[in-house]
């Protein structure tokens, strides 16, 4: 099978991006990252892309008349790089309905909780882990899912849990869950690129 062309959207340091870069370069994923796009100029993920000779693009919403136009510019950039799969790796902006329609069932996101717990509008970054610790849950984890028009509501591809100890802080839980993220995001992308994912309604089947 030919390699799947992947576009990654980021807003921060890009540790999940790095896990994708590593796993495309070592052949674990039958894909190639053709562009990394960030809405933040100082996102270290852009530097990670440059270090691996991947096109790194910064696009600011302030440069466009509307949020719709901003999203259209991202779509144009992805199309210019022939992107077939979009991965959101710590991207902190919502996507327009047009964006989701153009790449229907071809946008994957990673979220640092076991969806539907601690997800949706306002739940991102360290706040997710603060809420989990404050609630006193015994398990948390990470979820890879397809993106639809809701916030963290798309069909779930993979989930993995981790125990939350009495001593855990939001920061220590975040580090535990990052290790899971760096494992299951490349795994989900690997399955996608191998054509092993089927979506039926809300359910995702992975063919072994």
Residues 6 or more apart whose Cβ sits within 8 Å of residue 123 = 111, 113, 131, 151, 152
CATH number at residue 68: 3.40.50.170
**Tokens read off for 118:** 């601690």
Handedness of CA 108, 111, 116, 122 (dihedral sign): negative
Q: Which of 81, 111, 145, 182 is catalytic?
A: 111
Residue 39 has pLDDT above 90, yes or no: yes
Query: Could you tell me the CA-to-CA distances from 165 to 116, 125, 134, 159 in Å, in that order?
Result: 21, 20, 12, 19
Q: Do 18 and 58 belong to one domain? A: yes
Q: Do 134 and 205 belong to one domain? A: yes
Q: Do 17 and 71 belong to one domain? A: yes
The answer to whether the CB of 20 falls within 8 A of the CB of 185 is yes
Q: Of 80, 104, 128, which residue sits at a domain end?
A: 104
Domain count, the chain: 2
Backbone angles phi, psi at 85, to 5 degrees: -130, 130
Q: Do 1 and 74 belong to one domain? A: yes
Q: Do 115 and 91 belong to one domain? A: no
**Is 52 an annotated catalytic residue?**
no
Question: 104-144 pLDDT, tens per residue?
Answer: 999 999 999 999 999 998 899 999 999 999 999 999 999 99
Residue 37 has pLDDT above 90, yes or no: yes
Q: Which pLDDT score is estimated for 1?
A: 80
Single out the residue of 188, 135, 138, 132 nearest to residue 159, CA to CA: 188
Rounded CA gap, 201 and 154, in Å? Answer: 10
Question: 170-181 pLDDT, tens per residue?
Answer: 999 999 999 999
Domain extent for 194: 110-208
Q: Do 186 and 131 belong to one domain? A: yes
Q: Do 38 and 115 belong to one domain? A: no
Q: For 135-161, what is the mean pLDDT?
A: 96
Q: Do 182 and 152 belong to one domain? A: yes
Q: Do 194 and 168 belong to one domain? A: yes
């Amino acid at each position: 099978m030919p390699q799947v062309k992947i576009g990654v959207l980021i807003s921060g340091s890009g540790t999940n991006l790095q896990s994708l870069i590593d796993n495309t370069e070592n052949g674990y994923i039958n894909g190639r990252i053709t562009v990394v796009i960030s809405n933040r100029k100082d996102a270290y993920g852009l530097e990670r892309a440059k270090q691996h000779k991947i096109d790194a693009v910064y696009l600011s919403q302030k440069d466009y008349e509307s949020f719709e136009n901003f999203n259209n510019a991202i779509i144009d950039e992805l199309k210019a790089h022939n992107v077939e799969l979009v991965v959101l790796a710590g991207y902190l902006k919502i996507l327009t309905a047009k964006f989701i329609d153009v790449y229907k069932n071809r946008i994957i996101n990673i979220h640092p909780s076991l969806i539907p717990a601690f997800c949706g509008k306002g739940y991102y970054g360290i706040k997710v882990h603060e809420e989990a610790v404050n609630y006193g849950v015994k398990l948390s984890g990470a979820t890879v899912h397809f993106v639809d028009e809701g916030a963290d509501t798309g069909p779930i591809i993979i989930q993995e849990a981790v125990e939350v100890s009495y001593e855990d802080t939001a920061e220590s839980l975040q580090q535990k869950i990052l290790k899971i993220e760096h494992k299951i995001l490349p795994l989900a992308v690997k399955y996608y690129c191998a054509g092993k994912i089927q979506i039926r309604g809300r359910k995702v089947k992975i063919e072994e």
